[in-house]
Amino acid sequence: MRSFTSLAACAGIALGVASRADAQAASFLNINPSWSPDGKQLVFESARHGNTTLYIINADGTGERRLTRTGYGEDTHPTWSPDGQTILFDSSRDGAFHLYTIRPDGTGERRLTHRDSTSALMFARHPSWSPDGRQIAFDSDRAGDVDIYVMNADGSGARRLTTTPGVDGHPSWSPDGRRLIFGSARDGNTNVYTMNADGSGQRVLIASPRTDAGGKFSPDGRRIAFFSEREGNPRLYSAASDGSDLRPLTVDSTSFEHAWSPDGTQIAFYSNRTGRFELYVMNADGTNQRQLTNTAYANAWPQWSPDGSRIVFASTRDTDWEIYSMAPDGSDQRRMTWSAGRDAHPMYLPSGARIVFQSPRDQSEAREVDLYSMDANGIRQRRLASARGFDGVPVPSPDGRRIAFQRGTAAASASPLHWELYVIDTLGQNERQLTSNRWNSQVPSWLPNAAEFVFYADPDGRNQLFVMDVTTRGVRPLHTSRANDTAPSVSPDGRHVAFNSDRDGRGDLYLLEISSGIVTRVTTGVGGVSQPSWSRDGSQLVFSAMSSGVDEVYVIARDGSGLHRLTRGSTGVR
């Protein structure tokens, strides 16, 4: 039998990530659809550009547009409010998953849940609106176990409904607002439970020797659609609201998440039947299944070689995330890695002879990722660091002696990752932890003196830029703003820091002059900028951005002129 926690690992219930097997099968995740109340649109999440953000698409598959933009963290599990004016979702943009709302036009974003007084990285996930729009049900580990809670729509008055040992998650309301349906592993195996809206009357509704979860009432309350592994492969089923009259709806590998149309005649879901997760709709009886999305591949995390002759980057063009290199004009693109899992964040050593990167290739768990290095032509790949946790974003020091990186760890498998910074020598020895402040410190970038680096962290709910002395571990603020400033990259002369920021609402690229503190904007309206990297002479920046719908690699002069797109994955061009 599989527990609710193990189901979370493969369906993204509590972790917000797909399993390693899913990641190998799907370049992109177009998942978790939710209908607008008028049935004309769907909101869904997609990882087509690296991290997960929200999109809106018409019910016929046209008019797709991006809704949220965050350079880091995952925006997941969107759900439309009953009046159609607000979209509720959970996001890990500030470290732990919390609940947010946003208008369908992308304005008015607001955070509803927060850390407790101890600043513990508890999470709040999988929100569900009550039919009258006045309450929100969700799951959270704030009391230790993962349990179901209900709060007012403004985030106040949270109260716990389940208290039994084991994971209780993914609540969903009945159409009359009197009951909740949810998944629970309290009996060892995951089953579908129901309870009254005040938490009383908890009882099992649908059960089998294998996983049953993710139940949702039809709009008329007469049937329930749910996810099950009772016949081996995961698929969708429906049953009468009392758990009887079981009927299969799909026959292939599908999702934990699905959504009834407002009139109850259709169900939206996602499936990896094409080799990657795409959105589909079908009639309520499982007939007339049709695909809505068809996403091309992404290109991300570009970095210049020290001599300026190559750009190394990661791409999903061959299904899985692998590492490639190309000439600075976008030509001569070559594949360098062929491993299972997500090979990402490549970075040249100062000599240009080797490249460091992150990969889960030798691990069986999705959140166990190690550091590797390889020759600049892709041969002689070897593991550098293999401690417990998610080791990522390796950045060699200018003298080539050390590598700074971030490690994500969690107290339990269902808890969010917490990030701290480490340093290791280039042979993979003498590891040392540098931060222990619970700020979610990430993305180091060395200053030319090789004694300090810039990084970003979240001490107070906003990502800000800091400088650390590697010897003393002393930290000082570099720049303070009211925005989220992330992904710093120090210029070769050490006078400027390129970074991405949401200060103008789009997630564009900016430059900070270190001596004066003056900030200038480099890109305008590109949106979704991530991981800038300087050319050797400091005259250009290469970065990835979402302006074409999926992440592509761009190059631009430091003054903002000469923006040029190097990859065209959104059109399927290699």
Q: How high is the pLDDT of residue 313?
A: 94
Please indicate, yes or no, if residue 149 is contained in any of the structural domains. yes
Residues 308 and 285 in one domain: no
CA distance 571 to 217: 38
Please indicate, yes or no, if residue 129 is contained in any of the structural domains. yes
Residues 42 and 11 in one domain: yes
- Asked whether 100 and 109 are in contact (CB, 8 A), the reply is yes
Mean pLDDT of 89-105: 89
Ranges of beta strands (E only) in 185-234 are: 191-196, 203-206, 212-217, 223-228
Please indicate, yes or no, if residue 477 is contained in any of the structural domains. yes
Q: What is the pLDDT of residues 325-383, one digit of tens each?
A: 998 888 899 999 998 788 999 999 999 999 999 999 888 777 889 999 999 999 999 99
Please indicate, yes or no, if residue 415 is contained in any of the structural domains. yes
Residues 436 and 373 in one domain: yes
Please indicate, yes or no, if residue 503 is contained in any of the structural domains. no
**Structure confidence at residue 13 as a pLDDT band (50, 70, 90):** very low
Residues 279 and 321 in one domain: no
Mean pLDDT of 510-520: 96
Q: Is 429 exposed, middle or buried (0-12, 13-18, 19+ CB in 10 A)?
A: exposed
23 φ/ψ angles, rounded to the nearest 5 degrees: -65, -35
Domain boundary (291, 325, 347) is at 291
Please indicate, yes or no, if residue 179 is contained in any of the structural domains. yes
Residues 389 and 245 in one domain: no
Residues 199 and 318 in one domain: no
The count of structural domains within the chain is 2
Higher pLDDT, 123 or 168: 168
Q: How high is the pLDDT of residue 528?
A: 76
Mean pLDDT of 392-399: 96
Residues 123 and 142 in one domain: yes
Mean pLDDT of 449-476: 94
Domain encompassing residue 399: 299-491
Q: Is 250 exposed, middle or buried (0-12, 13-18, 19+ CB in 10 A)?
A: buried
**Structure confidence at residue 465 as a pLDDT band (50, 70, 90):** very high
- pTM of the shown model: 0.60
Residue 170 has pLDDT above 60, yes or no: yes
Residues 266 and 179 in one domain: yes
Mean pLDDT of 27-32: 67
Domain boundary (491, 509, 525) is at 491
Ordered DSSP codes for 108-145 = --EE-----TT-----EEEEEE-TTSSEEEEEEEEESE
**Structure confidence at residue 27 as a pLDDT band (50, 70, 90):** very low
Please indicate, yes or no, if residue 544 is contained in any of the structural domains. no
Residues 373 and 402 in one domain: yes
Q: What is the CATH number of the domain that holds 417?
A: 2.120.10.30
**Structure confidence at residue 218 as a pLDDT band (50, 70, 90):** very high
**Structure confidence at residue 571 as a pLDDT band (50, 70, 90):** low
Residues 38 and 131 in one domain: yes
Residues 384 and 314 in one domain: yes
Residues 312 and 276 in one domain: no
Domain boundary (491, 508, 526) is at 491
Q: How high is the pLDDT of residue 240?
A: 96
